[in-house]
Structure 1
């Protein structure tokens, strides 16, 4: 009886995760208190950080919330940090939490408009290169004002819709028939090669779009969650954030779009797959069918969603309220004018963002440990021994490398918190802090495209129901992201190392587009130049 209970308990622990993964987490939970009490709290703190990074890197084995959460709870229980310190971290980052809760849910109610736009790109534009660049640019533009996770979720919806339509026809059924598009057994033999070509085509578009979310996400304060954390610590609003980032982000965006164009032309790294003509015709027929079924009521919904989108851009640019509250206004406006009144319909909108919001709160618990145990202080002090551009380069590279192997939100949060401490301690000037904030933001956003665990949007794509259908594995994503990783990282590095960032920032000061900030009694306050 005892044995069966223990066996059942062990099977339930972290569910279907691999045996070695479960044993690794148990080992971490056993070792951490021993290191903390009998070796050194500092060493135990670093062990916790590395273990947490391990759970992020292994996100495909088990969502990091559970194992990471267990490690964080244990850390608080043994005294590595306190619930009060965790609550303090949550409180100062409340805008980020509201961004994830409300903004992602708000964009959910604008999905129909986004689906409409991406569908038109695929069916109306014949050139594959043009389609790819449009997908990349549209994803970048939308991610700058919305949220990378939501944008990639919309593109996944478009791809799943098209895949299921073609799969149904290739299996000898009509569009209005029921069909399981996950099973290839009904696909006619002569359609198999066509299906493989279509899968390759969709892989191309999804990877270009994924990179697009990174290109746009780095540009604005709402593009990625860590951007808002960095912007808050620096006391920058939407417009100032975008202007300060521009000396790095504009060259990177141009280089990224050019890379997209080039990859489609040279057909390297799995790119350059064309849409088979037969598939194109099926998709065009399907789009015509959907358009003919669209009522006046549906058209009005699209118009209202477009107007809400314009309101969102204006409200963000003018900083009319906290980002999360603007997201809440989007939910209210988009649902009020498109006929969504049911509580269950509202509930679906929050499904995508809340698991990641919970994980972000666990991030803040680990950040609290880092602060209480002063883990990064020696590293930051060492990097601060460098001067001028080299200091910026070191921060950019350190953030970039860590973001590749773990998660860019976690890395960005840790580094900006530590640099803020250095500022308040008088180790660096306010102007140097501003430049370092740009280096940290670009470092966490650009090299992190190297791996799916580096960015939430990439991980979301990899763990979606679409990935196995189009044969998009972890290894294939790494290979397809490789040319982009090299180009974006090097262009970002050159922009920082060349002194372009510093000289352009000085020009912006002189033009009056941005102002010098100063620190008063440990808090940021506006200064004038």
Structure 2
């Protein structure tokens, strides 16, 4: 009886995840307290590695459950405290509100998004041009909006395309109910086209995700840590863009050239073309929707477009916190569309809430990183260097740490340390300005290497579309590899050879302007 009970408990544990995966998580939970008693520092790094493992195995088991179990144990054995974890959550409340409300808001604008992007995909037949359009659009939007919002839009579009083809390939009508997660009803001849379409959509998803990193690094609103850096440095929107531009503009150009090269060569899983059968279905769908569209449908699209304008304006001018703007989108879009039932509203939150819970677990891991001082030796070591070497070391140190941890946390820790050094007189203001640029670019560019580095990438990995497109952790790392190499190297080279001279030029311009503003400066200049 007892043996049967234990066997049933084991079978229920993490559901249908493979036995080797269950045994690995159990092993982690057995050894963590033992290692913590010997070396809290080593136990902290081991926990980070274990959490990364759960992310890497996201298609085997959603990371919330195994990652949450590891964090609960870490709290019990004293790696961090519930109060510190709560503090990290409160610090990042805007990110959580963004996930809860903005992603749901995008859900209620999917009709407009699908309409616009269907027209784009149908009209632009050249895959290379289409990829560059998706990347450039994601970059521009991310420079003014939040990268998570942009990725949510791209996911909604990709999921829309996938469900349309999957429904028709299964022998159903465009508007019929259908389970697009199961391929049982798809005929054998269509399986090959479905795999090719998955590869095509994977390409667009990855190009777009990289685009959010290219645009997000440019402005003070592109990523959460950018706002923190701008605040510490007392930079406005224009000055932030100008100071970053010696690094970010060359990186942006090289990012587009990388996309062009990958699509032409077909390296790293890129270059996949849309099958003719899929294009035909999308054209038929577009024609069908145009023919079936009623005046009420047109009114709905028009109102969604106006709400989209409000979304862009509200975010670009920071009229409210991003999450609150997302909440306003939900209220406006549902009111305009006539969605007033509670169960209809609930569907919009299904995508974001699991990831929101996972992100809270992640913030608990961040609390462990801080309490155990995991990054402190690296920070102390980098501050021992001087001049251009110090810039390069800050850039690389931020990049490496951002690959394994959240770039918001890494950027926040480093800019705080550098600000303290400035206040103590250990560095000059010129050094501080250059280091701030190195920190911002270092956290944003190399972090594309893994889904851990950027919340937008992690959101894509754990979204509903990832398993449909067979977009695993390993495949994301593999497909991001050429971008990681190019973005990191170009950022490093421009940091070393261009940033110092550009900052000196900006400093001289500031002195000239200051001189001209002084009484009698004009006469004196003659």
TM-score range, shorter chain: 0.7 to 0.9
SS in 2 for 1:316: helix
Distance in structure 1 (CA, Å) of the matches to 2:345 and 2:508? 48
Could you tell me the TM-score, scaled by structure 2's length?
A: 0.82
- 260 and 185 in structure 1: CA distance in 2 versus 1, 3 angstrom threshold: same
- Choose 291-300 or 376-385, whichever is displaced more: 291-300
Give the corresponding residue for 1:394: 393
Does the aligned pair in 2 maintain the 1:315–1:321 contact within 8 Å? yes
Distance in structure 1 (CA, Å) of the matches to 2:54 and 2:420? 27
Give the corresponding residue for 1:501: 499
Give the corresponding residue for 1:122: 121
Q: Note the C-alpha offset of 1:124.
A: 1.4
Mark the runs of 5 or more structure 2 residues left unpaired by the alignment: 514-526
Distance in structure 2 (CA, Å) of the matches to 1:73 and 1:425? 39
Does the aligned pair in 2 maintain the 1:110–1:334 contact within 8 Å? yes
Q: Note the C-alpha offset of 1:381.
A: 0.7
Give the corresponding residue for 1:100: 99
Could you tell me the TM-score, scaled by structure 1's length?
A: 0.82
Distance in structure 1 (CA, Å) of the matches to 2:56 and 2:405? 5
Give the corresponding residue for 1:323: 322
SS in 2 for 1:29: helix
Q: Note the C-alpha offset of 1:386.
A: 1.3
1:82-231 alignment runs, 5 A limit:
82-167=81-166, 175=174, 182-183=182-183, 186-187=186-187, 189=189, 194-227=193-226
Mark the runs of 5 or more structure 1 residues left unpaired by the alignment: 516-529
1:42-57 alignment runs, 5 A limit:
42-57=41-56
Q: Note the C-alpha offset of 1:82.
A: 3.0
Distance in structure 2 (CA, Å) of the matches to 1:413 and 1:185? 50
2:248 aligned with 1:249: yes
Q: Note the C-alpha offset of 1:282.
A: 3.0
Distance in structure 2 (CA, Å) of the matches to 1:329 and 1:278? 40
Q: Note the C-alpha offset of 1:454.
A: 4.3
Distance in structure 1 (CA, Å) of the matches to 2:235 and 2:108? 29
Q: Note the C-alpha offset of 1:291.
A: 1.6
SS in 1 for 2:337: coil
Does the aligned pair in 2 maintain the 1:80–1:369 contact within 8 Å? yes
Does the aligned pair in 1 maintain the 2:110–2:157 contact within 8 Å? no
Does the aligned pair in 1 maintain the 2:110–2:156 contact within 8 Å? no
- 170 and 327 in structure 1: CA distance in 2 versus 1, 3 angstrom threshold: closer
- 487 and 8 in structure 1: CA distance in 2 versus 1, 3 angstrom threshold: same
Q: Note the C-alpha offset of 1:136.
A: 1.5
- 166 and 211 in structure 1: CA distance in 2 versus 1, 3 angstrom threshold: same
Q: Note the C-alpha offset of 1:491.
A: 1.6
After superposition, the C-alpha distances for 1:333-391 in whole angstroms (9 at most, x for unaligned) are 33333333333333333333333333333333333333333332222110111123322
SS in 1 for 2:130: helix
Does the aligned pair in 1 maintain the 2:57–2:473 contact within 8 Å? no
Q: Note the C-alpha offset of 1:121.
A: 0.8
SS in 2 for 1:269: helix
Does the aligned pair in 1 maintain the 2:97–2:322 contact within 8 Å? yes
- 86 and 11 in structure 1: CA distance in 2 versus 1, 3 angstrom threshold: same
- 112 and 145 in structure 1: CA distance in 2 versus 1, 3 angstrom threshold: farther
- Choose 161-170 or 278-287, whichever is displaced more: 161-170
Q: Note the C-alpha offset of 1:289.
A: 0.8
